[in-house]
Amino acid sequence: MLYEKLNEQKKKMGITTEQLSKLSGVPVGTINKILRGETKAPRYDTLQALEKILFPDYGKKLEECGSAGDCTDDFIQEKTEYFTKKQGEYTIRDYRKLPEDMRAELIDGTLVFLEAPDFTHQELVAELIFEFKLYIRKKGGLCRILSSPLDVQLDCDDKTMVQPDIVLVCQEDRITRKGIYGAPDFCIEVVSDSSRKRDYGIKVQKYMNAGVREYWIIDTKRKKIVCYWFEGKDAPEITMYTFQDYVPVGIYDGSLEIDFSDIAKRLWKENKAAAPIP
C-alpha cells in the first residue's frame, strides 16, 4: 500500500513528520492522515511534494504520471529499489543526489536533515564572520572564513559530509570547487534545539578525530560558548565563556578576541507582543 511505502521510506531516512512537513510544505495533519492510511487517494500535488523529499532521485518522474492514481502503489514499488539502504549505509553519492533545496549532513553513513536556521542564528553567524574577516584582512593572513551551506568532506571518505555553521581553513590545498576536503582548522556550531545533541556529542568527536584544531559551540539559549582546543598534549582543553566575555581565538594565540557582550547588544531581540508574520 502507498502509505506503507511512505512510512517505510520515512523511517529509513530517519526524518520526523515535523521535518518532512517543513521540507515539503505539506501540513503535519495532512501527512499524518496519509501515513495512517486514512487518505486513500492523496492529491497529486501533495503526493508530489512528499515524493520530492522521500524519494529525491525519482521525484521528477511523478510528472510523467497523468493522475494521482497512476502514481501510487505500482509507481512507488518500482522506484523504491534505490532506497534499500538503512541509516548508516548512505554514502556521499547518495548525499549528492538529494534535492538542492534540502539541507542535510551525512555523518558516518547516516543522513541528518537540517531545519532552516532562525533569524538570531543567522545574525550571530554574520557578526562572527565580520569579526574574523576584519582580523584576517588587517593581518594579511591566508586563512579563509566561510559560513554554511558549505560541504566539508571531513574524513576524506565516502561516509561523512558535514556543514558547520562557520569554518575557517588555512590550508589552501584542502579547498576544492565543491567545498573543503579534509578538516578545517576551526569550526563553529551555533546550537539549535534540533542540533543540540549532535553539536555537543558526536561532532566533538568527529572534529577532534579528523584533525580540526579548534571547535566552538555557541548556545544562544544558555548564553554560553564552549571552546575546545584539540591540540593539547594529553587531552582536549575545554573552556567555557558567557555572552558577557571576551573569547580568545586559540589558533591565533589569543591575539584575536571576540567581544560577545558587544555582539549580544546588537543582536535582534524578539518582541513577544508583536503580531506574528502571516
Q: How far apart are CA 93 and CA 273, in angstroms?
A: 47
Q: Is residue 275 part of a domain?
A: no
Same domain, 77 and 215: no
How high is the mean pLDDT in each 10-residue block of the chain (278 residues)? 79 84 87 85 77 68 45 44 69 89 90 90 97 94 93 97 98 95 98 93 97 97 97 90 98 96 92 56
- Domain membership of residue 109 (yes or no) is no
Please tell me the predicted confidence (pLDDT) of residue 275. Answer: 52
Q: Cell digits for 248?
A: 580568545
Q: Where are the beta strands (DSSP E) in the chain?
A: 104-107, 110-113, 144-147, 151-153, 166-169, 175-176, 179-181, 186-190, 214-219, 224-229, 237-242, 246-248, 257-259
Q: Which of 63, 149, 143 is nearest to 103 (CA)?
A: 149
What pLDDT, on a 0 to 100 scale, did the predictor assign at position 80?
A: 42
Together in a domain, 68 and 147: no
Residue 166 lies in a domain: yes
Q: How far is CA 171 from CA 3, 35, 110, 176, 180, in A?
A: 49, 48, 28, 11, 10
Cα distance from N-terminal residue to C-terminal residue, the chain: 37
Q: Nearest-CA neighbor of 147 among 181, 114, 194, 179?
A: 179
Provide the CATH number for the domain around residue 200: 3.90.1570.10
State the residue range of the domain holding 136. Answer: 119-266
> Would you state the pLDDT for residue 136?
95
155: amino acid identity, one letter: D
User: Same domain for 140 and 255?
Assistant: yes
The residue among 39, 58, 84 that closes a domain is 84
What pLDDT sits at residue 85? 72
Confidence at residue 43, expressed as pLDDT on a 0 to 100 scale: 77
**How high is the pLDDT of residue 274?**
53
* CA–CA–CA angle 194, 180, 229 (5° rounding): 65
**pLDDT at residue 273 in the model:** 54
The confidence score (pLDDT) of residue 77 equals 44
Give the number of domains in the chain: 2
Each residue of 122-156: pLDDT tens digit?
999 999 999 999 999 998 888 999 999 999 999 99
Q: Are residues 56 and 128 located together in one domain of the fold?
A: no
- Same domain as 140, residue 243: yes
| Residue 183 CB burial class (10 angstroms; 0-12, 13-18, ≥19) | buried
What pLDDT does 44 receive?
64
146 plus 256 within the same structural domain: yes
